[in-house]
Amino acid sequence: QVQLVESGGGLVQAGGSLRLSCAASGRTFSYYAMGWFRQAPGKEREFVAAISGSGDLADYADSVKGRFAISRDNAKNTMYLQMNSLKPEDTAVYYCGARSYRNTVTIVRNYDYWGQGTQVTVSS
């Protein structure tokens, strides 16, 4: 069992930055591929970024490439999402997920564990 807790969301103006954190507990963190997803009102949960257990592989949605950066600190059992040049369309609840897998996981239904989410609101 893995417990995930997101933090770092908030209200920011367009062009601003936020850093989200996902703290994990329960099992050996490095055994888990991790990812960030987001869900806007009335829309399905969508992939944002994913990182492998060791942190050497990462994938990004086209909509965030060049603006967002995913990373993890296995010594601290924490994953991060640095979000720069934020746009109003980035507004959503952001969730972190975990799956026991070596490489990156980009499909939402393949994740086994989820956090409760953190709200990100970007004003124009």
pLDDT of 90-117, one tens digit each? 999 999 999 998 899 999 999 999 999 9
Query: What confidence tens digit (pLDDT) does each residue in 79-89 have?
Result: 999 999 999 99
Query: What confidence tens digit (pLDDT) does each residue in 61-81 have?
Result: 999 999 999 999 999 999 999
DSSP line for 62-112: TTTTTTEEEEEETTTTEEEEEE-S--GGG-EEEEEEEEE-SS----GGG--
